[in-house]
Amino acid sequence: MLGGTPAHARPLLGDLPGELSGFLAVEGRVFFSDARFPGQKAEGLVASVVAEPEWYLDWDGGNQAVLFVPFARGESDDPKRSHVDIRELNYLRVGEGWELRAGIAKVFWGVTESAHLVDIISQDDAVEDVDGEDKLGQPMIHLTVPRDLGTLHAFVLPGFRERTFPGRRGRLRPAIEYDTDEAEFEAAWEQWNVDFAARWTMTLAAWDLGLSHFYGTGRDPRFRVRVRGEEPVTAANALARLRLAPVYDLVHQTGIDLQYTGDNILLKLEAIGREGQGSYRAVAAAGFEYTFYALFGSDADVGVLSEFLYDSFAAPDLPGLDGLPPAGVPPQAIESDPRLTLDAPPSPFEHDVFAGFRLTLNDVQSTVLLAGAIVDVEDGSRFWTVEASRRIGDRYKLSVDVRLFDGFARDSFFSSIEKDDFVQVQFARYF
Partner 1 sequence: MRIIAQPRAIAVAAFTAIATALLGTSLAQTPEEKGLQIVVEADRRDLGWGDWTAQMKMVLANQHGDTSERQLRMQSLENPDPKDGDKTMIVFDHPRDVKGTALLTYTHILTPDDQWLFLPALKRVKRISSSNKSGSFMGSEFAYEDFSSQEVAKYTYKWLRDEACGDLPCFVVERYPQYENSGYSRQIVWIDQAEYRVQRVDFYDRKDSLLKKLTMSDYRRYLDKYWRAHDLFMVNEQTGKSTRLTWEDYAFGTGLQERDFTTESLKRAR
In 3-state terms, the chain is what percent helix, strand and coil (to 5)?
5, 50, 45
Q: Mark the segment that binds partner 1 (CB under 8 A) among 27-35, 240-248, 255-263, 318-326.
A: 255-263
Closest CA to 32 of 360, 384, 431, 317: 384
- State whether residue 15 is helix, strand or coil: coil
- Least distance to partner 1 from the beta carbon of 287, Å? 15
Hey, CA dihedral for 5, 7, 9, 10, is it positive or negative? Answer: positive
Is residue 294 close enough to count as binding partner 1 by CB under 8 A?
Answer: yes
Q: Which of residues 308-367 bind partner 1 (CB under 8 A)?
A: 362-366
User: Binding partner 1 by CB under 8 A: which of 114, 144, 193, 212?
Assistant: 144
Helices (H), 53-97: none
**Smaller CB distance to partner 1: residue 57 or 321?**
57
The CA-atom distances, in angstroms, between 361 and each of 113, 179, 275, 423 are 20, 44, 44, 22
- Burial degree of 15 (CB within 10 A; 0-12, 13-18, 19+): exposed
**Distance (Å) of CA 405 to CA 35, 44, 94, 306, 395:** 14, 16, 46, 19, 33
Q: Smaller CB distance to partner 1: residue 23 or 310?
A: 23
59 counts as binding partner 1 under rule CB under 8 A:
no
> Considering only residues 11, 39, 74, 146, which one is a binding residue for partner 1 as defined by CB under 8 A?
146
CA 319 to chain centre: 27
431 contributes a contact to partner 1 by CB under 8 A? yes
DSSP 276-290: SSSS-EEEEEEEEEE
Interface with partner 1 in residues 150-189 (CB under 8 A): 151
CB of 363 to partner 1, least distance (A): 6
Closest by CA position to 348, among listed 305, 313, 321: 313
Residue 274 contacts residue 328 (beta carbons within 8 Å): no
Angle, CA of 279, 281 and 284, to the nearest 5°: 170
Closest approach, Cβ 6 to partner 1, in A, equals: 5
Residue with Cβ nearer partner 1 (7 or 327): 7
CB of 337 to partner 1, least distance (A): 40
Per rule CB under 8 A, is residue 129 in the interface with partner 1?
A: no
Selection from 166, 178, 169 nearest residue 40 by Cα: 169
Name which of 150 and 278 has its Cβ closer to partner 1: 150
Give the residue, chosen from 91, 108, 189, 280, that forms a contact with partner 1 under the rule CB under 8 A: 108
- Considering only 2, 42, 188, 327, the residue that binds partner 1 (CB under 8 A) is 2
Does 411 sit near partner 1 (CB under 8 A)?
Answer: no
CB nearer to partner 1: pick between 162 and 301: 301
* Calpha distance 210→227 (Å, rounded): 43
**Binding-site member from 182, 208, 335, 343 for partner 1 (CB under 8 A):** 208
Among positions 263, 322, 326, 327, the unique one binding partner 1 when judged by CB under 8 A: 263
Query: Closest CB to partner 1 among 63 and 312?
Result: 63
By C-beta, is 321 or 400 nearer to partner 1?
400
How far CA 100 is from CA of 103, 139, 155, 395, in Å, comes to: 10, 13, 10, 33
Residues near 430 by beta carbon (within 8 Å), at least 6 away in sequence: 21, 22, 23, 395, 396, 397
Minimum distance from residue 204 beta carbon to partner 1 (Å):
11
Residue ranges binding partner 1 (CB under 8 A) = 1-3, 6-8, 21, 23, 56, 58, 62, 65, 92, 94, 97, 99, 106-108, 110-111, 133, 144, 146, 151, 201, 203, 208, 259, 261-266, 291, 293-294, 299, 301, 362-366, 391, 394-395, 397, 428, 430-431
